[in-house]
Amino acid sequence: MASNPQPAVVAANDRIGFFDLQRQQRRIHDDVRARMDAVLVHGQFILGPEVSELEGKLAAFAGVPHAIAVSSGRDALMIGLMALGIGPGDAVFVPAFTFAATAGAVCSINATPIFVDVDPETRNMDPADLERAIDEVIAAGELKPRVVMPVDLYGLPADYEAIGKIAARHDMTVFSDAAQSFGGRAGNSRVGGMAPISATSFYPTKPLGCYGDGGAILTDSDELAEAVRTLRSHGRQGTGDVAVRNGVTGRLDTLQAAVLLSKLTVFEDELEKRDAVARRYDAALAGKVGIQKQPSGYFSANAIYTITLPNREALKAELDARGIGNAFFYRVALHQHPAFAEAPKRPLPVSERLADTVISLPMHPDLTDEEVERVIAAVLDAVG
C-alpha cells in the first residue's frame, strides 16, 4: 500500500501535531502573561473589564452590535435557545453530521432535535432536505417548527441565503452554530452576522481559542442580547440580585477574556496561514480523495481539515506510522448517538456515508511548509 514505509518509531521532534497550541503560545507568550497579570492585580475575576473589552472587539470583528461572552460554545447554544423562548414541544432542525453539542444543547432545554442531512460536497446542512424535514414535522402535527440551527462545519459557513429563505417561509428563526467558524465569511457577511443569532466556541483548539472553556453569542437584536446577558448570570438583570428569569452560571471568566484579547492580536494573520495550508492540501489532494467544496466567495476559518476516502483505516495506519496527527471528525452521525435515540427517525444517507469515510489531517497556523509536504506525501503514498 505505502510505497515508502517509515520506521515504526518517529522521534518526538519529527511528529506533526494535529493541533499545536504550544507553538502558538510561544508567539504571544509575553503578551498573554502581561494581560493575565493585569487581571491578578485588579482581581475582578467575574465580568471584569477584559470581558467587556473582548465583547466590543468580537462585535466589531463580526460587524454586529452585540457580542456576549459566555462559558462555552454549548452553553452559548443553550442560552441562545432559552433567550428565543424555545422549550418542550418545539422542533429545532440541526444537521446530522456535526459535533454532539449541537443536538445536545437542544435536548438540554427539552426541545426536540430534528436531524437534517448534509450536502455531500460542502458537508453543511442541505437546504432541500431541510424543506423535507420541516414538511414531515408539520404533517406529523406533534411539534412546532421553531428554529433552524445550521453548523458551519470545519469552519466553512453554511448556506445561510437558502436556509434563511426557507426559515422565513415557516416563520422560524435561524440560529447559527458557528462554534468552528469564527473568522469565516461569505460575500460581505462575517460569521456572527450571517444569522439573527449565532453562537461560537473558544475551546482551546478552535481558530480563536482560549486556555479553558469559553464561547460567545452574537446578535443584532437588542432584545435577544439583553435576554442573553440576563440568562448567563442566574437570570439577574445588571448587578441586581433579583432573578427576572431562570438563568444559569454561564459567564466567560475574566482570565479567559484576557487570553482571547491577546489571541485576537494575531487572529487575522492566523486565519490567513490556516487558509494557505488548506489550499495547499486542496491543490495536492483534489481528485485523489474527497475534499470539502468551498463555494465561490466563501472563506473558511479552517478549524479542521477533513478528507474522505473509502479505506481510511489504511491511511490512518500510514499517518500513525509517520508520526502525523489525525482524527475521525466525526465517526458517528448524530442520529446514531444513543443520547439522541428518541429524536424522530428519518433517512440521513449522506451523513452516514461521511461518518464512515472522513479522516482529518493536521491543521493549525504554525505548520511549516515542510510539514505540509510530509502530510501530503503520506496521503498520496497511502492512496497510491
Q: Which residue is nearest to ligand PLP (CB)?
A: 73
- Parallel, antiparallel, or unpaired: how do β-strands 173-177 and 90-95 relate? unpaired
The least distance separating ligand PLP from the CB of residue 200, rounded to whole angstroms, comes to 8
Q: Check residue 203 for interaction with ligand PLP (CB under 6 A).
A: yes
CB 206 within 8 A of CB 183: no
Residues binding ligand PLP: what is the number (CB under 6 A)? Answer: 15
Q: Which is nearer to ligand PLP, 192 or 323 (CB)?
A: 192
Residue (74 or 263) nearer to ligand PLP, CB? 74
329 binds ligand PLP (CB under 6 A): no
Contact segment (CB under 6 A) with ligand PLP among 98-106, 246-254, 336-344, 368-376 equals 98-106
Task: Check: CB of residue 133 under 8 Å from CB of residue 44.
Answer: no
16 neighbors 281 (Cβ within 8 angstroms): no
- Rule CB under 6 A: is residue 98 a binding residue for ligand PLP? yes
Write down the least CB distance from residue 151 to ligand PLP, Å: 5
Contacts to ligand PLP from residues 139-168, by CB under 6 A: 151
* CB within 8 Å of 11: residues ≥ 6 apart: 323
Give me 228's grid cell: 442573553
* Peptide bond before residue 305 is cis, with ω within 30 degrees of 0: no
Question: Which residue in 64, 101, 261, 284 binds ligand PLP (CB under 6 A)?
Answer: 101
Neighbours of 47 (CB within 10 A): 18
Q: Kindly state the smallest distance separating residue 199's Cβ from ligand PLP, in Å.
A: 7
Residue 99 binding ligand PLP, by CB under 6 A: yes
Tell me if residue 46 falls in helix, strand or coil: strand
In this chain, which of 59, 69, 73, 224 binds ligand PLP, going by CB under 6 A?
73
Cβ contacts of 16 within 8 Å, gap of 6 or more:
323, 324, 325, 362, 367, 371, 374, 375
Considering only the stretches 52-60, 86-94, 175-183, 226-234, report the one whose residues sit in contact with ligand PLP under the rule CB under 6 A: 175-183
Residue 320 CB coordination number (10 Å): 15
> Do residues 298 and 186 make contact, with C-beta atoms less than 8 angstroms apart?
yes
Minimal distance, residue 340 CB to ligand PLP, in Å: 14
Interacting residue ranges for ligand PLP, rule: CB under 6 A: 72-74, 98-99, 101-102, 151, 177, 179-180, 201, 203, 213, 215
